Amino acid sequence: MTHAPQQPPAGWYPDPAGSDGERYWDGIAWSQATRDKVVFAPPVEAPASGYGQSAAGYGRPMSGTAASNVASFGWRFLGFLIDFILFNVVGGIVLSATGVSQRLDGELDRWLKAFLLWADTGSTGDIPMPSAEFWSVGLLSTAISIAVFAIYRTVMLGLFSATVGQLALGLRTVRLGKDPGSKLGWGVAALRGVIGAILYQHFLVGFVNGIFAAFTKNRQTLSDMMSKTQVLKIR
């Protein structure tokens, strides 16, 4: 007849997640309660039984940092896809409300008519080019899109350390090497939000930025590297 090994008594032990503090063991599983390490507490050995299997909010054991919970490229891509769809809906509403999209469509329509007329007349003379108004409105449209995307990303990351797409898939953005429960902070949220918004305005640059998450050690994009963050899978 075999017996399950006796569990250590409830109490505070060194945090198996790798932080400098202590985490409360309730006698059965790790809780979410943490505290700063007690300087004069006698050293004790942390319980060795299945932290990653019992503690809510942690999918697997962690060694020193949250490296084992790093989100894969596939999860990050799905999260971005959700955010991209949402952004296009909101961005389209803003551009329409400000009249920018109508102005841009009008200038594009005038240029296409001029180009077709030039082609129908035997392609004589210089090729008609878009007007200066077309370029200025296009630049304004890009600036508004960057601003909307940057504000969206900054607010979501500052409040929740995750965008809507990340929240839906159980992802969380943290500073590199930090615990999954740590707050990102408004400064880092703004930096990452603005950098990402700028990079994703150009298809090729945005693609290169995103594809970095498939090959780098911590699954970091360029915007992650520049803001010293990483995305974790917390559920």
Q: Report the share of the chain in percent with pLDDT over 70.
A: 83
Out of 52-56, 108-112, 124-128, 200-204, least confident range = 52-56
Which residues have CB under 8 Å from 221's CB, separation 6+? 76, 196, 209, 210, 212, 213
Mean pLDDT, the chain, whole residue set? 81
Taking 80 as the threshold, does the pLDDT of residue 58 lie above it?
Answer: no
Nearest to 166 by CA among 148, 153, 151: 153
Out of 29-43, 127-141, 178-192, least confident range = 29-43
The answer to whether residues 224 and 192 touch, using CB atoms and an 8 Å cutoff, is yes
Query: What is residue 26's predicted lDDT score, i.e. its pLDDT?
Result: 73
pLDDT digits (tens, 9 = 90+) for 143-171: 999 999 999 999 999 999 999 999 999 99
Out of 5-14, 38-47, 212-221, least confident range = 38-47
Out of 31-45, 100-114, 172-186, least confident range = 31-45
How far is the C-alpha of 193 from the C-alpha of 91, rounded, in Å? 16
By CB atoms closer than 10 A (0-12, 13-18, 19+), residue 8 is: middle
Task: Identify the residue with better confidence: 36 or 44.
Answer: 36
Annotated domain spans of the chain: 1-64, 69-233
Taking 50 as the threshold, does the pLDDT of residue 220 lie above it?
Answer: yes
Query: What is residue 161's predicted lDDT score, i.e. its pLDDT?
Result: 93
How far is the C-alpha of 220 from the C-alpha of 129, rounded, in Å? 41
- Ordered DSSP codes for 51-100: HHHHSTT--S--SSSSGGGBPPHHHHHHHHHHHHHHHHHHHHHHHHHTTH
* Predicted model pTM: 0.64
Query: What is residue 22's predicted lDDT score, i.e. its pLDDT?
Result: 81
Helix, coil or strand: residue 24: strand
When pLDDT is averaged across residues 105-134 and rounded to a whole number, the result is 84
Helix (H) or strand (E) holding 110, with range, is helix 100-120
